[in-house]
Chains A and B, each alone.
Chain A
């Protein structure tokens, strides 16, 4: 079904009927509600793209395609009336689209592909066989900025601003590079989670087939924090040198962002309570006492605050790096790691059957769309300018009803994100799915030919 067929009619009447001022001013009040969402699902949500992605080349005509593939995928809906429906599955893009339009879910989660159709799960649960087990699932990562509350001072909890967002940029750069260079993955989708963080979907077939242990091992490869007791985090880096992955992350990303952005953005050393926190990480008391005295005395220097952060950091580095003890030199790295290194929600990545919110959902609290982020240009991403439901509706209203022919989606500010999703992620992914499928098919063919000739 094309988008054109479902335009107009009911959908428009609902916005207009809601507030007759809307059409004239084309101004839509900020917010999130079921009526807005209906229009979004009616006109903008990219069903075809999600379907093509989640089909991984199986939606084609090639004899090696598995037509049941998309239908074995679990989707879950959080509905407006506080109910949560798991194990939704759809055999075609039309079913998928119709169900979303009908139910108008506030949130759509994506789960694994099961061996059998999720709708038949009870039949198999009773027979006691493990037929209802997940067989494929993207390797996913979830990073929430609220996990950084002990190292950011501008916001807390679910709030973000352009001063703390660099923490997410760092996470994208560090994880993305390692996934590609160390693990050899190519098809990686980064998505703004709509409010306070980012999601990562690794979609290579090799990633989708990892078992839980292998997933956990990758998550742990990325994990440097030692913690446990009540919220206090610490990074301790053992060994005389860093593992190549950590060393590369440090020199290419962490140190640069720490010194050029966070040090000043977060005023990490300008006031006593803040530098105290950093000095606590230095295990040598005579050094911390010395710096403490020095910094307390110099409170009213002629320097601007920005300079103060940088000067003090240089002083700290100088003292630590000129020290004789090896542990002290490592301290500089440990501080930078603690203040910048990605903090993953480990549990999300470890298990195949963990659900993760679908890209292009709208976050109910912010009204922002979960748009993809291009990792190559993640520095330019600004969470505060991501299209919201109401701006998108405004853009639709402005267009009016007269230009029915062209694609509504691409005319809105969501369009650029869809274009990027296709060109940076979907097209290369489908190309390699097709190649893999053909190679596997030809290999099979060859094999059966060989066995025939024998």
Chain B
């Protein structure tokens, strides 16, 4: 286990005191609607990055008319620079699984599936043993806690594609197909795994649920900002003294993060991984919040010695590699953007062509089929804009 695997700061929300199994017992005493309203009042939003309200997703899944429903835990943590879900799975698996059980009870699903990224396959045995324990403790299986409720969880390994973090590509992969996004609509809450209503939730999202059930939405709302309740796990890497996982309240500024992690001479921060935005020092007063800079949790810090063009090239190479190849804008567009970066690198470009590529990037943002292609031009646009002096003066 390397240094960054350790939890550097346990905040007061996700890592607050919690008795294993207690939330499931409490939830099963509640009406399904009560749980939905509690989650709704808590304002919990998806922690994978997109920030979709959890209660809405669950409500739609619950309302869908079908023989079967599924809860899928998205543990395909693939955004470059994020490793917080791994920490939750390793050190707090009960929170994840209990969140799934409560979700299953709430929407009326009998099956939960954890889609575990291939790179975390070393966790498989540990997690399966843990699920076995839950079965023994009657928190999984039939008549859970003596109630008329049945739920079980199994784990399916991914095969290493970044795009499978996108929920519909994840479902395709679960079904044994090429991991490629589907058309939306229909959304998974209506037509998901095997065509059945499916709620796909991030590891961290599910881990928040047991706390909300036990401590209530009012308690949860005490943390964070008005529009972003609770806390966020962030994985900090790059040029800082204390990389690792931190639980911070929503509303934390980038400057505070620099201070927490002991970063020096920071030139830029990439928030939200490769698909996020790259901000210069002049923006470090801004906050992590759905209403300001939303993030799935990846924060990369770059100090003054870093070449931002090299950073950008690295990101674009990543997207060229990870585009699923299905839709035109993403499959070819990313290649064109990377070529543009290489042109700048070789000092063989015209400003007009680079502008044309930025324009192309804007098309990709609205024309690509899924979030991958819609966000992959972000670093191209934000780095070339925010660091234009450095990049173009040198070149």
Do A and B come from the same complex? no
Mark B residues whose CB is within 8 Å of A: none
Mark A residues whose CB is within 8 Å of B: none
